[in-house]
Homo-oligomer: A and B are copies of this chain.
Amino acid sequence: MTQPLIQRLCIIGVGLIGGSLARALREAGEVGEVIGCGRGEDNLRAAVRLGVIDRYETDPACAVCAADVVVVAVPLGAMAAVLRSIVPHLAAGAILTDVGSAKGSVVADIERIYGQIPPHFVPGHPIAGTEQSGVEASFATLFQRRRVILTPLAETAAAAHQLIRRMWELTGAEVVDMGVRHHDAVLAATSHLPHMLAYTLVDTLARLDDRAEVFRYAAGGFRDFTRIASSDPVMWHDICVANREQLLEMIALFSADLAQLAEAIRSDDRAAILATFQRAKRARDNLYLD
């Protein structure tokens, strides 16, 4: 019998992402034991009951001490504290990775803790998820045909990088490497900004005097458009804080373009209005064929 890729996997934060990763690796038969850890013991018990993890530890130090791969899948706001609590207890040769939606802040956390970038740390970000959260929402195929971005650093060991790449490939994901800053810029544009717009739109409408009436007539397009406003507020608060600079830059770009469109509408510059919509439709249609 061949050895699995990972003998002992520790998942800190057994939610949608951490739980789905464990499920996928189990289905692939590429993990020996899976140990869970996290703040909520109810969630951890559910994870054992669902067969997502074999057992759990409530103390992060105990959870990581014999693991060969540790995946930190907690909200970005908890990242620094969790890393601080596990780093002193990692086994020799253990590889550490995370799934944070912003990478600059996690790399900075790690650098503060170690005083440098350690070779066994591989920053990662699976671009997958739903508006759901918690281990109950996890499923083995979440990452299939999704992209996982790794942002290895100059200091990152090739073997550590390769193992984490292989781990994600086993889930059915397409793994790509990217620079830390570039990752954060791309995600600010395609994910963080759209979430800000959806949250703000729903909140703007929810504070209108006739909000009940307004929402009654919100039709199909509105439902799709605002789906991401159902995402976890704490998680998105953390992302805003972690990716502040790049997100603010994208909000500024967008706001300037919206102001320009408003000015075109105000001044009845019909050619400019039409040109904007045509460019956008062309870009959207080329992006997806639905």
Residues of A within 8 A of B (CB): 127-130, 146-147, 149, 182, 185-187, 189-191, 193-208, 210-211, 213-215, 217-234, 236-237, 240-241, 244, 247-248, 250-255, 257-259, 261-262, 265-266, 268, 270, 273-274, 276-285, 287-288, 290
Q: Which residues of B contact A204 (CB under 8 A)?
A: 250, 253-254, 257
18 more A-B residue pairs beyond the given contacts A199-B261, A224-B228, with a C-beta to C-beta distance below 8 A = A127-B219, A146-B219, A185-B210, A186-B210, A186-B213, A190-B219, A191-B218, A194-B222, A197-B201, A198-B280, A199-B281, A203-B279, A205-B283, A221-B227, A226-B284, A227-B284, A233-B274, A255-B255
Give chain B nearest CB distance to A273 CB in angstroms: 5
Q: When A199-B276, A233-B278, A236-B277 are in contact, do A224 and B222 touch as well, CB less than 8 Å?
A: no
The residue of chain B having its C-beta at the shortest distance from the C-beta of A224 within the complex is B224
Number of copies of this kind of chain in the complex: 2
Give chain B nearest CB distance to A150 CB in angstroms: 13
Give chain B nearest CB distance to A151 CB in angstroms: 13
The residue of chain B having its C-beta at the shortest distance from the C-beta of A285 within the complex is B230
Of the candidates A147, A222, A231, A241, the one having the most CB atoms from chain B within 10 angstroms of its own CB is A222
The residue of chain B having its C-beta at the shortest distance from the C-beta of A202 within the complex is B280
CA distance A54 to B215 in the complex (A): 39
Give chain B nearest CB distance to A67 CB in angstroms: 29
CA distance A268 to B241 in the complex (A): 7
Q: Let me know if A202 and B283 touch, CB within 8 A.
A: yes
CA distance A279 to B233 in the complex (A): 9
Q: Let me know if B283 and A191 touch, CB within 8 A.
A: no
Q: Which residues of B contact A233 (CB under 8 A)?
A: 274, 277-278, 280-281
Contact with A191, one of B127, B221, B282 (Cβ below 8 angstroms): B221
Q: Which residues of B contact A146 (CB under 8 A)?
A: 219
Q: Let me know if B252 and A262 touch, CB within 8 A.
A: yes
Q: Let me know if A217 and B186 touch, CB within 8 A.
A: yes
CA distance A126 to B201 in the complex (A): 23
CA distance A191 to B187 in the complex (A): 26
Contact with A280, one of B203, B234, B261, B281 (Cβ below 8 angstroms): B203
